Structure 1
Amino acid sequence: MISSILDNDFYKFTMQHAVVKRFPKARARYQFINRGGHQFPDGFAEELRNAINGLAQLQLTRHEKTYFAATCPYIDPTYFDFLQGYRYDPDEVMVRQQGRELQVAVEGYWYRTILWEVPIMSLICELYYQMTGQQRHADETVMLTAREKIEKYRKLGVTIAEFGTRRRHSYAVHQLVVQALRQYGENTFIGTSNVHLAMQYQTKPIGTHAHEWFMFHAAKYGFKMANLLGLEHWAEVYRGDLGIALSDTYTTDVFFTQFDKKLSKLFDGVRHDSGDSLLFADKTIRHYQQKGIDPLSKTIVFSDGLNYDKVARIAAYCRGKIGFSFGIGTNFTNDVGLPPLNIVLKMTEAFPEEAQWDPVIKLSDDPGKHTGDTETVKLAKQILMIPE
């Protein structure tokens, strides 16, 4: 199911590099959240445990290291040496099952545990479909579906990246999808978040950072400083590369109060991941205009539950106002005739150096996507003056 250590999302490696440089003593805890209330078959935890144990055998090959270093010259050579020596430690992961309910938790140094989220989620998805005996579409149909989608997007004149590792049906389906996108998406398909498949199909690995980067900064520096210092530290590590800023960890409105003129000029754009996409576009355009920056010189990467109709609506609205691109996940990698799983694995606590375990939360622009301890969510809203 997972045969390469690079079978993971690009932003996990870019964040790991930054964590190694800036927060090597920090610790983190993650919890599995079954948003869809899926019922897991008997023996699922045992099978998942075996699959997780198997990941300990993975290591960065010489060929993978050469590819990764050549593709990402903005990452320090010392990081690739570190990654070559990195091994997954299954002892960092707890897996239990009570009846049909699955429990998964991860704990350890942040620079190590940061790589667990995506492969565990993809393993859960693939094992679920295997153990429940659900039959997907044939390979030819999977490829045809991806081909038809990318050809429709090409007619729209938009650029599309594939972001679907976490909730893919399976590795085999993911391969077929990227193959079809690469083959039929010329000038439209710009890359994949999956580094292994980017290498395999000679396309670009796409991504920057995730919510956990800012969630940790809140635990270390406080909610009011999380966005500002998160972006400052990112810029110190990457010096202008990887310049798409994630905006909704503590709501977009709060983000834009801290996205000052320096950062607005330095970063190439922002990523939309929750809430109304057209309202977000308006806020982003207005923010750049107020800073004296031409919105057409910047890009919004839309990545929230996209399908063709939503992409078409956003593109029509933004064209001529601001640059835009799209990252599509589950709609590519789990459109095989079966219901996709609605699951996440999120950081829940952080332990900065010389501190204590603190709960971490996310306040997205969609209240249904808030994650974390209820009391901490309430406290953060009070501190950030976010109305109930």
Structure 2
Amino acid sequence: MVRLHSLLDNDFYKFTMQYAVIKLFPRAQARYQFINRGKHQYPAGFDVCLREAIDQMAELRLTPAEKVFFADTCPYIDPTYFDFLQGYRYDPNEVVIKQKGSELSVHIEGYWYRTILWEVPIMALICQLYYEMTGSQRVSDEEVTNIVTQKMDKYDTLHITIADFGTRRRHSYDVHDLVIQTLKNHPSSTFIGTSNVHFAMKYKTKPIGTHAHEWFMFHAAKYGYKMANLLGLEHWADVYRGDLGIALSDTYTTEAFFKQFDKKLTKLFDGVRHDSGDAIEFAEKTIDHYRSKGIDPLSKTIIFSDGLDYEKVERIVHFCEGKIGHSFGIGTDFTNDVGLPRMNIVLKMTEAQPDEDEWTPVIKLSDEPMKHTGSPEEIEMAIKYLQIDEHA
């Protein structure tokens, strides 16, 4: 049966956001919805198997060894959080699963500080179950190792740093495990860590991440679109005081982000993360922004993480070299390159209830319009309100 092996089998930024939510927004509630971008057809009984796997998650516990690792790795997080996490239990009642024919729906609702951990593991479970229940045969373990090794040999020639960002759409736990083992054993310094805290502990590497789109989506629900990026980053800095200093830039398009990324925040944050739209255009805008603030772009870093493979990375490196710092987070091209079609699914926050206010719809305005999420009416309103020119 498909199941998770650890409470820490999740992306690092889910825990860092959870800590910030507990400190700043303990009464906030959130709703999330599964989006089947790839129009995958789910076999009969898929909902039953997913339900069983999610119910099993209630048994997960933070072990004493995991608590020590996490606390030692993150001295900037209060010890009270790790005590909280030791007592945290997934509540499967927060997750509603339905299937009609081959269509799957997943809805999550509850206090934000609790529900924030569901997204990544549920997506990983859906992927692994899909491949198992459709009888899809992947390449051998030896071939997986060879594929990763060959990619790393090529990346080594670029003299860059790379992290694994592939938990949510991985083929399976076993493939992910093998990938991290191969990356860790590769004889170079190119691989620097993983977004997955469980594997960071298992393979003695660094957990990597800061925050995700939902952080800013919630801030838009509470404070409005024009203040979402500014206050989202201000609050992040209030909690982490200069640690975890990579800012996600595309929740409401890069254009809107840089308008709110003022000189104080530009100096305070170590860099920005690119997650949609043309990477070279983004790099140009970022370099121009730093220069306009009197900051040497080479003192800052862009983390690129949007659907990367070697060709894309090579193109980005050739542009950025000597102009701005750069590093890369690679997802499914590591964890789901096994001879099968890769899944295209997301699970996004759709509504937020700040404090005890009314439920408010939330959206994401990606730099790639096809990746917008939320109701069309709310998206149209936000585009007009933020004065975004999608044809620029």
TM-score, scaled to structure 2: 0.98
* Residues 119-164 of structure 1: per-residue CA shift (max 9 Å, x gap): 0000000000000011001011111111111121111101100000
The structure 2 residue matched to 1:165, chosen from 164, 167, 171, is 167
> Which amino acid in the other structure matches residue 36 of structure 1?
G
Matches of 1:371 and 1:119 in 2, distance apart?
20
Match of 2:264 in 1: 262
> Which amino acid in the other structure matches residue 198 of structure 2?
H
Match of 1:119 in 2: 121
Q: Displacement, 1:185?
A: 5.2
Match of 1:344 in 2: 346
SS in 2 for 1:191: strand
Structure 2 residue runs without a partner (length 5+): none
Structure 1 residue runs without a partner (length 5+): none
More divergent stretch after superposition (145-154 vs 39-48):
145-154
The structure 1 residue matched to 2:107, chosen from 105, 120, 124, is 105
The structure 1 residue matched to 2:39, chosen from 37, 42, 50, is 37
The structure 2 residue matched to 1:306, chosen from 295, 303, 308, is 308
* Residues 289-332 of structure 1: per-residue CA shift (max 9 Å, x gap): 00000000000000000000000010010000000000000000
* Residues 185-216 of structure 1: per-residue CA shift (max 9 Å, x gap): 53100100000000000000000000000000
Q: Displacement, 1:354?
A: 2.8
Matches of 1:40 and 1:382 in 2, distance apart?
37
Between the two proteins, the alignment pairs up a number of residues equal to 388
User: Does the CA-based 8 Å contact 1:154-1:185 persist in structure 2?
Assistant: no
> Which amino acid in the other structure matches residue 148 of structure 2?
A
Matches of 1:107 and 1:22 in 2, distance apart?
19
User: Does the CA-based 8 Å contact 1:151-1:185 persist in structure 2?
Assistant: no
Match of 1:50 in 2: 52
In the TM superposition, structure 1's runs of 4+ consecutive aligned residues that sit over 2 Å from their partners are none
User: Does the CA-based 8 Å contact 2:255-2:388 persist in structure 1?
Assistant: no
Matches of 1:118 and 1:7 in 2, distance apart?
9
Match of 1:357 in 2: 359
Percent identity between the two aligned chains: 71
User: Does the CA-based 8 Å contact 1:160-1:191 persist in structure 2?
Assistant: yes
SS in 1 for 2:206: coil
Matches of 2:222 and 2:356 in 1, distance apart?
10
Match of 2:194 in 1: 192
Match of 2:388 in 1: 386
> Which amino acid in the other structure matches residue 215 of structure 2?
W
* Residues 209-229 of structure 1: per-residue CA shift (max 9 Å, x gap): 000000000000000000000
> Which amino acid in the other structure matches residue 188 of structure 2?
E
Correspondences of 1:1-388 after superposition (within 5 Å): 1-184=3-186, 186-387=188-389
SS in 1 for 2:124: helix
Matches of 1:378 and 1:130 in 2, distance apart?
39
SS in 2 for 1:237: helix
Matches of 2:124 and 2:356 in 1, distance apart?
34
Matches of 2:235 and 2:59 in 1, distance apart?
33
Matches of 1:39 and 1:185 in 2, distance apart?
41
